[in-house]
Chain A
């Protein structure tokens, strides 16, 4: 295979792993793997379209997992970061991992390993933030509804947490940026896409989609938030560091501040 070839995959994680498989098969030292629709390589580079193949993807997945459980998590998290060029980084990471005698991807003195770790760490933090900052509002159809706008594509990572916790209520968590969401109907979690006319951030204006009591509880919560602050210890720098401003518009306790 020509060294300057670009592998184009469909954007899915399995698609990416298939591309890694093909890259290994052709013994590419550097793989230029890119998402369909986001091609960035030179005009004249040759491209090969990769068709997602679950079996091949599985083989890469298992190969990595046999080496290290941390690595498999790091790879998946780094993938969800959607960062430019993360495909090439992960490719190199897997290469290194498969070639290494040590069972693990813990060489923190290696740049590539550090970089993947950092990406995975960032995505992990965003997952954690969404588990913390998603705010449900109760609709008149008895569904608890939350909009989020995460920096990375973390919906697949938070599904389990919400499923385990809110097992007795229907809920939707919708990613406004990526235009898809999760819907739990008391049995299973499904992926949905919605035609949202309103983005239901926690605006001061009320929406008729939600129950009356919903706004009473938001009000109570905002009051609680205020009375629990100790005035003589105010430290806004710390506050904003923990709750960055870009998340405020979905937090009912911050709606007056937005």
Chain B
């Protein structure tokens, strides 16, 4: 193996792949087979990048040659950058050798589109197939579904991959037309639909015949770029909800646009990555998936954007003060989960704890509940509670004062843009 040449390629092709934020390696249940190599589980972050993101997979492109020219992408045809391509065997060797040293949970392989969608998809599948069949590799494999790839290939991909993903990237169809005029919305949807249908079919069949055959056991995911086309938070979250519902997505990722181009259709070089906004979108996503909120409770035509200075649950609570205060010792779990400052972990602790005794402030504090936020919304076993009839703006002001938002700097910067 020519390590120097590999190193050059790795630098180029890892660099180009890093804008895909997904690094999840969980949700699969592949076991080690015949004393081979690897298994999958809850997904381990083996290290963290200096920007604080989990590194769990070897995330690379097979090649960054591309026949398309999507404005938001570093790999676009018109961009003047170094190009490289891995051989199939090179990716296999890298994956196996990194895995054996406990650096990674597996491989996340994506690619620029060379020649055609099908040709590219075939090569991605060839890597996965080799890993599974020749190396008896049972670690995690995430393959990118190439927009426009045929149903036959998408079927085959799912036989080897744990997860498949197509990045929708631009949340609105009009945005897509503007930034990637030669890509069609249907091309993204088609492979998604095929994968969804196969997942359902395999699940149904496994109920009838016991078989160890798997099809993309960790499901599929997608990603949207945030802040590239002037879309609202409502646009993003409604479209995310659509994908969760209709394509049974396991995850939707939100990726703050990192300026990489002087194209006038996009935010200019040097503009700030909207990290705070990205964070608020993840919090919203979380509320939808685990806290029983529905999207129109949080965002609608009158409120198309999230509040940047407070989290979305607090935002919701302040708009719905009529549901509060909630009695910690009596309320149903679903209502406990809606109290600002109380996470799901705390909900469980409250429910177990209150079996033994009525809970007071002291108990709640010990459970690690963020009382500086929660106290305006609850009553517990104490006569000492917030009884003034405070309005939403006052509560918000008091909470903001009590917490030194870690994003304050960025928030101030963003504000100053509008001054």
Minimum CB–CB distance for A164 against chain B, Å: 5
Q: Which B residue's beta carbon lies closest to that of A107?
A: B356
Check A242–B45 contact: CB distance below 8 A: yes
Minimum CB–CB distance for A147 against chain B, Å: 12
Q: Does B59 contact A (CB under 8 A)?
A: yes
**Complex contacts, A200 vs chain B, CB 8 Å:** none
**Complex contacts, A231 vs chain B, CB 8 Å:** 51
Find the residue from A102, A111, A224, A231 having the highest chain B CB count within 10 A. A224
Complex interface residues of chain A between 86 and 126 (CB less than 8 A to chain B)? 102, 104, 106-111, 114
**Contacts A102-B355, A165-B39, A220-B7 given; does A133 touch B14 at CB 8 Å:** no
23 sampled A-B residue pairs with Cβ under 8 A: A108-B352, A110-B356, A132-B46, A146-B102, A164-B31, A166-B38, A168-B35, A216-B1, A217-B101, A219-B7, A221-B98, A223-B10, A224-B58, A227-B14, A227-B15, A229-B51, A232-B259, A232-B273, A233-B51, A235-B50, A236-B50, A239-B49, A241-B52
Q: Which B residue's beta carbon lies closest to that of A253?
A: B47
Flag A151-194 by CB within 8 Å of B: 1 or 0 each.
00000000001001111110000000000000000100000000
Minimum CB–CB distance for A132 against chain B, Å: 5
Minimum CB–CB distance for A49 against chain B, Å: 38
Q: Does B292 contact A (CB under 8 A)?
A: no
Minimum CB–CB distance for B109 against chain A, Å: 14
How many chain A residues sit at the interface, stated as a range, is 35 or more
Q: Does B349 contact A (CB under 8 A)?
A: yes
How many chain B residues sit at the interface, stated as a range, is 35 or more
Q: For the complex, what is the distance from the CA of A167 to the CA of B49, rounded to whole Å?
A: 29
Q: For the complex, what is the distance from the CA of A236 to the CA of B58, rounded to whole Å?
A: 22
Find the residue from B52, B54, B275 having the highest chain A CB count within 10 A. B52
Check A223–B258 contact: CB distance below 8 A: no
Check A165–B38 contact: CB distance below 8 A: yes
Complex interface residues of chain A between 233 and 258 (CB less than 8 A to chain B)? 233-239, 241-243, 251, 253
A168-B36, A223-B7, A232-B273 given; 6 more Cβ-contact pairs under 8 Å: A128-B44, A132-B46, A136-B100, A220-B10, A225-B47, A228-B49
Check B50–A229 contact: CB distance below 8 A: yes
Check B101–A224 contact: CB distance below 8 A: no
Flag B206-231 by CB within 8 Å of A: 1 or 0 each.
00000000000000000000000000
